[in-house]
Homo-oligomer: A and B are copies of this chain.
Amino acid sequence: MTDKGEHHVVIVGGGFGGLEAARHLAAGPFRITVLDRRNHHLFQPLLYQAATASLALSEIAWPIRSLLSRHKNATTLLGAVGGVDAAGKSVLLEDGRRVAYDTLILATGARHAYFGHDEWEPHAPGLKTLEDATTIRRRILSAFEQAEWLTDADERRRLLTFAIIGAGPTGVELAGTIAELAHETLRRDFRNIDTREARVVLVEAGPCILAAFTEDLSAYAERALARLGVEVRTGHAVSQCSAEGIELGGEFLPAATILWAAGVAASPAAEWLGVPADRAGRVVVAPDLSVPGFADIFAIGDTAHVAMGEGRTVPGIAPAAKQEGRYVAGVIRARIEGKPAPGPFAYRNDGNLATIGKRAAIVDLGWIKLKGRLAWWTWGIAHVYFLIGLRNRLAVALSWLWIYSTGQRSARLITGANAENPERRPQ
């Protein structure tokens, strides 16, 4: 590996925050290494569409190294980080390798959390990676396939019940799309079942869905879900998850497919450094996003707890991570170039969007609130715009126009149950 003596910034994680930091540092006098355990940057806001057969995996993910291709001072390395040796200024990989740094940015993201019920995970997969999306897609489609065989009405009903736990944007988007899949896309393809009999139940412990939005928009989203046939159960905490179904408020709901959209926890970066974390495992950072006690280590995105005053924190969404990545690049650059440090990080809320199926959405830009079809088009255009690369924008736009006009979804593939060691007997 080349070492030309420049200041070496190591960024762990090629998500929205890490990538933005790398791009902004690349213009400066730095050598940059991005380490990630996956080879791709994932456009997580659309991951639910891959999980519900609307988009192909390759339409929402892009190799990190090709995104940094034109920055000759940026190297990408595929590897799983398992710790930090802060005294030795090195990142430790799980396979024993070390990568030395001058400055370190931890942008390691979050995973789903089961609030002390890790035993629920096999029954209620969450949605964070492309593999998660493949798993969820396989479970949803397989439930219909199995139901097509059955004559037992109770078991058929259980197979055609989909419970989604957590009514944030991901839960609402999953519920809306599964309802459309059942009521529209799959309707004519089965002979023994009526897919429109499928029940989609969205369970939320809090008092309303999409709590980040105003009461008015949240209520609209709930009505839009009801129009799609989704049963919304707010104020119900799930007390049990099993292969048979879920238990909520003393009631047992038989459901073959349970999806988890209820909570996330940060990666173990705080443990690596032995620094204080909040309840979600996020590193409580200083106003300049550095880790207290480690001037040359920063934490951004879902890894960081960034206070906004009044007990609030910066939300764990892509625009926030990007702003933090850009800000930290500026802090590091000012240090190296001997300029005054920028003021503390200030989060700018650019708005909040959520979609409910293919015809409704809610948009809150602060100065304007939208709902319905216009909001849906705003949502769609914004997401196509934020996708990386013209080719992906064209492909996703084509996919969406196709779904919008025909109701057909092209990625209805059941794959991967034995991806590394597939059963080889053909048929």
Q: Which residues in chain A, 32-56, are within 8 Å of chain B measured between CB atoms? A: 35-40, 56
Residue of B63, B129, B415, B425 touching A267 (CB-CB under 8 A): B425
A149 within 8 A of B: yes
* A69 sits at the interface (CB 8 A): yes
Number of interface residues of A (CB under 8 A): 84
CB pair B134 A75 closer than 8 Å: no
Whether A192 contacts B426 in the complex (CB less than 8 A), given A58-B411, A66-B412, A413-B130, comes out as: no
Please give me the residue from chain B that is nearest to A57 by CB atom: B413
A391 proximity list for chain B (CB < 8 A): 398, 402, 406, 408, 410
Are B13 and A134 touching (Cβ within 8 A)?
A: no
Instruction: Say whether A39 contacts B417, CB under 8 Å.
Output: no
Known: A39-B414, A135-B419. A427 touches B56 (CB 8 A): no
Is there a chain B Cβ closer than 8 Å to A110's Cβ?
yes
Choice from B69, B419, B427 contacting A417 with Cβ under 8 Å: B419
Q: Is A253 an interface residue (CB 8 A)?
A: no
From B12, B39, B110, B128, give the contact of A145 (CB < 8 A): B39
Residues B426 and A111 in contact, CB atoms below 8 Å apart: yes
In the complex, A69→B412 CA distance in Å?
A: 14
A141 within 8 A of partner (CB): yes
Q: Once the chains bind, are A427 and B132 in contact (CB under 8 Å)?
A: no
* Bound Cα distance A422, B37 (Å): 12
Q: Which residues of B contact A356 (CB under 8 A)?
A: none
| B420 with A392: CB separation less than 8 A | no
Do A395 and B419 touch across chains, with their CB atoms under 8 A apart? Answer: no
Taken residue by residue from 185 to 213, chain A's Cβ proximity to chain B (1 for < 8 Å, 0 otherwise) reads as: 00011111000000000000000000000
Is A24 interfacial (CB-CB < 8 Å)?
A: no
Known: A57-B56, A427-B36, A427-B81. A408 touches B149 (CB 8 A): no
Enumerate chain B residues within 8 angstroms of A38, measured Cβ to Cβ. 414, 427
Q: CA A77 – CA B59 in complex, angstroms?
A: 29
Interface flag for A268 (CB, 8 Å): yes
A215 at the A/B interface (Cβ < 8 Å)? no
State the Cβ distance, A347 to closest chain B Cβ, in Å.
22
The residues of B that contact A142 with a CB separation of less than 8 Å are: 78
**Shortest beta-carbon distance from A324 to chain B in Å:** 17
From the candidates B39, B399, B414, name the one contacting A413 in the complex (CB within 8 A). B39
Please report which residues of chain A, range 363-390, place their CB below 8 angstroms from some CB of chain B when the two chains form the complex.
Answer: 389
Closest residue on chain B to residue A269 by CB atoms = B427
Within 8 A of B (CB), among A1-54: 1-2, 12-13, 35-40
Residue from A63, A189, A402 whose CB has the most chain B CB atoms within 10 Å:
A63
Nearest 9 interchain pairs by C-beta: A56-B56, A416-B419, A58-B411, A131-B422, A78-B145, A109-B426, A419-B419, A75-B191, A39-B414
A-B contact pairs, 10 of them (CB 8 A): A1-B192, A56-B57, A56-B58, A57-B57, A78-B148, A79-B149, A129-B422, A134-B416, A135-B422, A418-B420
